[in-house]
Amino acid sequence: MTPVLDSRLLNDVLRDILSPYDLPPVEDVATRRQLARTLLSGRDNGSFDGLALAYAVVAFCASTEDGAAEVLDAVRDAEVLVLDGVCGGYLLIPCAQDLHVELARELHDRVGQDVWMAVAWAPRKDLASARATAEDVLRIARNRAPGVYELRTVLADFAVLRQPHVAERLARMIEPVMAQQPLLDALKAFIAEDGNRAAAARGLDIHRSTLDHRLRLVERLTGCRPTSPRALLTLSVALTAHSTPQVPLPRTH
Amino acid sequence: MLGFSPRLVLKSFNGAKDGKGQPVLFDVGRLLHEEFLAVYRAAAADAEGWEDAAVTVAHRVGARLASAKVPVAQVVVALRSTDRLLTEAMLDDGGDARALAAAGTALAAELMSAFCADDDGLGDALLAGNAPGGAAPFYTVVLARGSAADRVVSAFRKRGPVVLATSGHLLLPVAEAAALPLCREVWEELGGEVWFCVAERAAARVALARKEVDEIDALVSSLGRPPGVYRIDDMLFESAVLETPEVRDELGKVVAPLLANPVLVETVLALLEADGNRAVAVKKLFIHRSTIDYRLWQIEQLTGLSPVNPRDLALLGTAIGLSRTNSLG
A179 occurs within a structural domain: yes
Q: Give the 3-state secondary structure of residue A118.
A: strand
Same-domain check for residues A49 and A131: yes
Domain count, chain A: 2
Q: Is residue A8 part of a domain?
A: no
Q: Residue A61 — φ and ψ, nearest 5°?
A: -150, 155
Question: Among candidates B73, B11, B61, B10, which has minimal Cα distance to B32?
Answer: B61
Note whether B82 and B30 are within 8 A (CB).
Answer: no
Q: How many CA atoms lie within 13 A of B52 on its CB side?
A: 3
Q: Is B317 on the interface with A (CB under 8 A)?
A: yes
Same domain? For A138 and A182 the reply is: no
pLDDT for the residue numbered B17: 46
The range of the structural domain enclosing residue A139 comes to 23-154
B320 interface with A at CB cutoff 8 Å: no
Lowest mean pLDDT among A9-18, A218-227, B66-75: A9-18
B288 Cβ neighbours under 8 A, 6+ residues apart: B282
In this structure, the answer to whether residues A183 and A109 fall within a common structural domain is no
Q: Distance (Å, rounded) from C-alpha B8 to C-alpha B74?
A: 11
Residue A117, beta-bridge partner list? A60, A148
The enclosing H or E element of B89 equals helix B72-92
C-alpha A219: how far from its chain's center?
A: 32
Looking at the domain assignment, is residue A85 inside a domain?
A: yes
Enumerate the domain spans of chain B.
6-117, 138-233, 244-324
Indicate if A124 and A217 belong to the same structural domain. no
Q: Is B309 on the interface with A (CB under 8 A)?
A: yes
Residue A8's pLDDT is what?
57
What is the C-alpha separation between A118 and A102, in angstroms, rounded? 12
Last-in-domain residue among A154, A184, A212: A154
How many angstroms separate the CA atoms of B283 and B292, rounded? 11
The CATH number for B244-324, chosen from 1.20.1090.10, 1.10.10.2840, 3.90.79.10, 1.10.150.20, is 1.10.10.2840
Mean pLDDT, range A106-135, rounded to an integer: 91
Q: For residue A98, which residues of chain B lie inside 8 Å, CB to CB?
A: none
Mutate to test the interface with B, among A140, A191, A228, A230 (most CBs of B within 10 A): A230
In a domain, A12, yes or no: no
Q: φ, ψ for residue A102 (rounded to 5)?
A: -60, -45
Distance from C-alpha of B22 to C-alpha of B16, rounded to nearest angstrom: 8
Compute the nearest-CA separation of B122 from chain A (Å). 29
Model pLDDT, residue B21: 44
Same structural domain, A132 and A170: no
Which has the minimum average pLDDT: A102-106, A116-120, B213-217, B223-227? Answer: B223-227
Which residues on neighbouring strands pair with residue A120, listed in sequence order? A57
CA distance A222 to A174: 6
The verdict on A150 and A28 lying in the same domain is: yes
- CB-defined contacts A:B, below 8 A: 87
Asked whether the predicted pLDDT for residue A6 surpasses 60, the reply is: no
Contacts of A227 in chain B (CB under 8 A): 275
* Residue of B219, B271, B275 for testing the chain A interface, max A β-carbons within 10 Å: B275
pLDDT at B19: 45
Q: Which residues contact A215 (CB under 8 A, 6 or more apart)?
A: A186, A187, A190, A226, A227
Q: Average pLDDT of B240-248?
A: 90
Q: In CATH terms, are B138-233 and B244-324 the same topology? A: no
Predicted confidence at residue B304, as pLDDT, reads 92
Distance between CA B174 and CA B183 in Å, rounded?
Answer: 12
pLDDT at A1 over 50: no
Q: Is A93 helix (H, G, I), strand (E, B) or coil?
A: strand
Is A2 part of a structural domain of the chain?
no
pLDDT digits (tens, 9 = 90+) for A230-239: 999 999 999 9
Within a domain: A98? yes
> Taking the CA of residue A72 as centre, how many other CA atoms within 13 Å lie in the half-sphere pointing to its CB?
19
A150 with A158: CB under 8 angstroms?
A: no
Q: What is the mean pLDDT of residues B72-82?
A: 86
Give the whole-angstrom CA distance, residue B294 versus residue B316.
17
Contacts of B297 (CB under 8 A, 6+ apart): none
Note the pLDDT of residue B4.
41
| Secondary element (H or E) of residue A161 | helix A155-162
Tell me which of A120, A135, A154 is where a domain ends. Answer: A154
Using the 3D structure, point to which of A134, A154, A174 is the last residue of a domain. Answer: A154
Q: How far apart, in Å, are the Cα atoms of B82 and each of B33, B87, B97?
A: 6, 8, 16
Cα three-residue angle A177-A180-A185, rounded to 5 degrees: 80
Confidence of residue A206 (pLDDT cuts 50, 70, 90): very high
Mean pLDDT of B195-219: 91
Give the closest residue to A128 by CA, choosing from A25, A40, A58. A40
**B156-173 mean pLDDT:** 89
- Beta strands per DSSP E along chain B: 138-145, 163-164, 170-172, 195-202, 228-230
pLDDT of residue B7: 40
CATH code reported for the domain at B138-233: 3.30.70
Q: Determine, yes or no, domain membership for A5.
A: no
Residues A41 and A131 in one domain: yes
Looking at the fold, whether A63 and A83 belong to one and the same domain comes out as yes
A interface test, pick of B311, B312, B315 with most A CB neighbours within 10 Å: B311
Pairwise CB contact (< 8 Å): B314 & A230: yes
Q: What is the pLDDT of residues A45-97, one digit of tens each?
A: 666 667 888 899 999 999 888 888 888 888 888 788 889 888 899 999 988 88
* Cα A205 to Cα B17: distance, rounded to the nearest angstrom: 58
CATH number of the domain within which A220 lies: 1.10.10.2840
Q: Do A229 and B233 touch (CB under 8 A)?
A: no
Residue of chain B with shortest Cα separation from A233: B311
Phi, psi of A251 (to 5 degrees): -75, 145
Q: Are B171 and B163 in contact (CB under 8 A)?
A: yes
Interchain contact, A191 vs B311, CB within 8 Å: yes
Tens digits of residue pLDDT in B86-133: 999 888 888 888 888 888 888 888 787 766 655 558 888 888 888 887
Q: Please tell me whether residues A118 and A35 are part of one structural domain.
A: yes
For A222, which DSSP code? H
Listed ranges A26-40, B64-78, B82-96, B287-301; the one with the highest mean pLDDT: B287-301
**Residue A70 buriedness (CB in 10 A; 0-12 / 13-18 / 19+):** middle
Are A123 and A81 in a shared domain? yes
ipTM above 0.85, yes or no: no
List the single residue in A151, A170, A229 with the smallest CB-CB distance to B236: A170
Q: What is the pLDDT of residue A105?
A: 93
| Cα gap B310→B318, rounded to integer Å | 12
Nearest to B71 by CA among B211, B187, B194, B174: B174
8 A C-beta contact, residue A131 and residue A77: no
User: CA distances (Å), A184 to each of A167, A192, A231, B114, in order?
Assistant: 18, 12, 15, 56
Q: What is the pLDDT of residues A189-198, one digit of tens each?
A: 999 999 999 9
Is residue B41 within 8 A of residue B21, CB to CB? The reply is: no
Q: Angle at Cα B107 formed by Cα B106 and Cα B113, nearest 5°?
A: 90
Q: Do A230 and B232 touch (CB under 8 A)?
A: no
Is residue A10 assigned to a domain?
no
**Average pLDDT value over all residues in chain B:** 84
Same domain (yes/no): A192, A222: yes
Phi, psi of B17 (to 5 degrees): -125, 150
pLDDT at A5: 52
Total residue length of chain B: 329
More confident residue, B7 or A157: A157
